[in-house]
Amino acid sequence: MEKTDKIFVAGHRGLVGSAIVRKLTADGYTNLVVADRKELDLAKESAVAAFFAREKPEIVVLAAAKVGGIKANNDYPVEFLLENVRLQNNVISSAHAHDVRKLLFLGSSCIYPKHAPQPIREDALLTGPLEPTNDAYAIAKIAGIKLCQAYASEYGENYISAMPTNLYGPHDNFDLTSSHVLPALLRKAHEAKTNGAREIVVWGTGQPRREFLHVDDMADACVFLLENYNSPEIINVGCGEDVSIRELVELICDVVGFDGELSFDATKPDGTPRKLLEVSKLKALGWSPKIQLREGIARTYEWFLEHELAPAVAR
Ligand code: GDP
């Protein structure tokens, strides 16, 4: 990749896309192209085709997706399936039609079977049934992977797919009904501390285990893969360590400074029992993460205080 290559980052307002834009800019890539949702609706095929015809990007990072936590995925499978398939089909097919040299598609660790052996290797894909709380989203992401691989085998395209573990960081979604666990618990702990509440409610049993990667590490890995990886085979991106939800919430409470009680609401789903990625493939290429979980949570809490609370107070 040249520093002057025209790179389209789809989804630049999101958690991952915004981190990739920051990383590319910091690394001296000077020719980035982005488009706000009101300028470009990625779900509209003709709009996406016209955008590619006009902008002619050379490299594409497909970080746009409809994402959400366990509740949102469980409640709105139609939207998660339709919107993701639509936007990824439009971007990937337009990339091919307009001679994009390389495309990075971002999947998710939820593409793997619910009971995949842990840590989860890339070849566990499609070896067993999915976790039902997010199978619609997972099927959409699997369709995206398969489309990239089909373009590679049928047309020789250099479309690569990375599977991130659970991500968190600045520009995350902190809404309690649609967010993932880490930002949700950060908000709950902060609000409990601020309001003098005695306890916070944690969904499920606290026993499921999840692996968390700071999004700046993810962006670092994405740029590394753009520069160094040229295979249609999927590649996992994670830190190789997991924690239970109970351990996560205890760490969050410690960082936030909330010392009340935890109450576990077992009427809420646990989801998949464990999701830890096997990351030796990426490690062997020479990449490893830099941000420890405690430090990452502290940095995310600072961002939350500065950006999420300020507008709420003003409203
Ligand atoms: P998942 O990784 O796809 O299951 O998605 P989430 O990040 O939404 O949830 C991970 C785990 O954290 C699940 O076992 C949830 O039940 C649990 N959890 C505990 N408290 C919360 C919460 O306040 N919000 C969310 N989204 N999950 C929570």
Q: Note the pLDDT tens digit of each residue in 117-148.
A: 999 999 999 999 999 999 999 999 999 999 99
Q: Residue 140's closest CA among 82, 96, 92, 76?
A: 82
pLDDT tens for 48-84 read 999 999 999 999 999 999 999 888 999 999 999 999 9
Pocket test for ligand 1, best of 181, 245, 250, 277 (most atoms within 8 A of CB): 181
Would residue 102 be called left, alpha or beta, if left means φ above 0 and alpha means ψ between -120 and 50 degrees?
Answer: beta
pTM score, two decimals? Answer: 0.95
Q: In the prediction, which pLDDT does 126 show?
A: 98
Distance 174 CA to ligand 1 centre (A): 13
Q: Residue 247's closest CA among 213, 292, 279, 210?
A: 210
Q: Catalytic annotation on 137?
A: yes
Total number of domains constituting the chain: 1
Q: Is residue 169 part of a domain?
A: yes
Q: Is residue 189 part of a domain?
A: yes
Q: Is residue 219 part of a domain?
A: yes
The band of 310, judged by pLDDT with boundaries at 50, 70 and 90, is low
Q: Is residue 1 part of a domain?
A: no
Q: Is residue 23 part of a domain?
A: yes
Q: In the prediction, which pLDDT does 313 show?
A: 45
224, with CB counted inside 10 A (0-12, 13-18, 19+), is: middle
Which tokens belong to 80? 């998660």
Q: Range of 206's domain? A: 7-314
88: domain CATH number is 3.40.50.720
CA 231 to chain centre: 21
Q: Is residue 60 part of a domain?
A: yes
Query: What is the Cα gyration radius of the chain?
Result: 19
Q: Is residue 288 part of a domain?
A: yes
Q: Is residue 2 part of a domain?
A: no
